[in-house]
Amino acid sequence: MKLMSLPGRTALSYLTITGSVAVLALALPVSVAGQPARGGDATAAPSAALSAQVALDRAGFSPGVIDGSQGPNTRLALQRFQKARGLTASGTMDEPTRQALPSEPALRPYTVTAEDLAGPFVDRIPNDMMEKTTLEVLAYTSAAEMLAERFHTSPRVLTRLNPKVKVKAGAVLQVPNVEPFLVPGTTEARKVNPPGAARVADVRVSKSAGALMVRGTDGTVLFSAPVTSGSEHDPLPLGTWKVTAVYLRPVFNYNPDLFWDGDASHSKAKLPAGPNNPVGVVWIDLDKEHYGLHGTPSPERIGVAQSHGCVRLTNWDAMRVAALVGTGTPVLFEP
């Protein structure tokens, strides 16, 4: 599999995923239960941009990381939503767009549990690939990082929304009102179609737009998200491919010899699974050898950093795609 290269990180190489083959019924992440009706203390009000991002995420047009910014990923999500709804695709919020978007509150309360604080966590994720192999799991570095990713945002934004609230058991945080993302608990592979895959016509990845779209058999857009794909050295392989399998929490082998910017001092080695794994928590394998759609340990780099030819999404968006596609689903890589 051909994987991503992130600025400031040691380049990746071809990887071979391992793991037990199991029949796995993937579904969109379930809601986190047991949340109180009251809100947190000393929380900040959401900005108009953050409210728009939450509404777009809920509508299935992901802006990537919910950061309160009116950046290119948000404009892209707005354009794609507007086009799908027959509105003027300006990429800016107007009244018809506001009326068409979900109207639920942008934030909701979440009570931190003891389980949230139990980890496992690691002190730091090393940049060096050989150092990564010494860890048992490429886990989150803190409960704040885990909770931020669960609600499609960043630790910085979570702190901004809750400036005087410490992340401890019983604390009530204000979080983006999105479908929570939960990390798969085990390394597994799925080679059968999940419920709902029959209504997917194809997945289209536009290199120029930096976006992925899952289309339904009725022509509707089932899901859209920003992506990073290809580079000058490893361009996206244009053409039509097919999904062969979905791997959760992939464990794989690192080979530094097979990338143009590989570190000659490195040797082949296994990289452990986890949300800070170089391909995140899911790999959607294609019949184009070494290529796939996958997650990332650096969600804020989506749409910014280049890749080694594959298609990189946030972990939560990659899991959404994995919940929709099945074996044989066509994947079109377009200019």
117 in any annotated domain = yes
- Residues 244-259 as b/e (b if ≥16 CB within 10 A, e otherwise) read ebbbbbbbbebbbeeb
In this predicted structure, what is the pLDDT of residue 53? Answer: 98
CA pair distance 244, 122, nearest whole angstrom: 33
Q: Assess whether 153 and 196 both reside in one domain.
A: no
By the 8 A CB rule, do 294 and 310 touch?
Answer: yes
Q: Assess whether 191 and 327 both reside in one domain.
A: yes
- Record the tokens describing residue 119, joined without a space: 């980890």
Beta-bridge partner residues of 282:
248
Q: Assess whether 106 and 58 both reside in one domain.
A: yes
Q: Assess whether 216 and 290 both reside in one domain.
A: yes
Q: Assess whether 105 and 155 both reside in one domain.
A: yes
Q: Assess whether 124 and 223 both reside in one domain.
A: no
Q: Which domain holds residue 308?
A: 17-26+186-334
pLDDT per residue of the chain (335 residues) written in tens, 0 to 9 = 444 333 333 333 233 333 333 333 333 333 333 333 334 444 567 899 999 999 999 999 999 999 999 999 999 999 999 999 999 999 999 999 999 999 999 999 999 999 999 999 999 999 888 888 899 999 999 999 999 999 999 999 999 999 999 999 999 999 999 999 999 988 888 767 888 888 999 999 999 999 999 999 999 999 999 999 866 667 889 999 999 999 999 987 676 665 555 566 766 788 899 999 999 999 999 999 889 999 999 999 998 766 556 899 999 999 999 999 999 999 999 99
In this predicted structure, what is the pLDDT of residue 17? Answer: 35
Q: Assess whether 65 and 202 both reside in one domain.
A: no
CA pair distance 121, 113, nearest whole angstrom: 15
Q: Assess whether 260 and 153 both reside in one domain.
A: no
CB half-sphere exposure, 224, CA atoms < 13 A:
22
What's the whole-model pTM score? 0.85
122 in any annotated domain = yes
CA pair distance 328, 281, nearest whole angstrom: 21
By the 8 A CB rule, do 234 and 2 touch?
Answer: yes
In this predicted structure, what is the pLDDT of residue 303? Answer: 81
Q: β-pairing, 292-294 with 311-312?
A: parallel
38 in any annotated domain = no
Q: How many domains does the chain have?
A: 2
Q: β-pairing, 188-190 with 239-248?
A: antiparallel
Q: Assess whether 216 and 115 both reside in one domain.
A: no
- Record the tokens describing residue 24, joined without a space: 């796995």
Residue type, 166: K
Q: Assess whether 169 and 221 both reside in one domain.
A: no
Residue 266: CATH number of its domain: 2.40.440.10
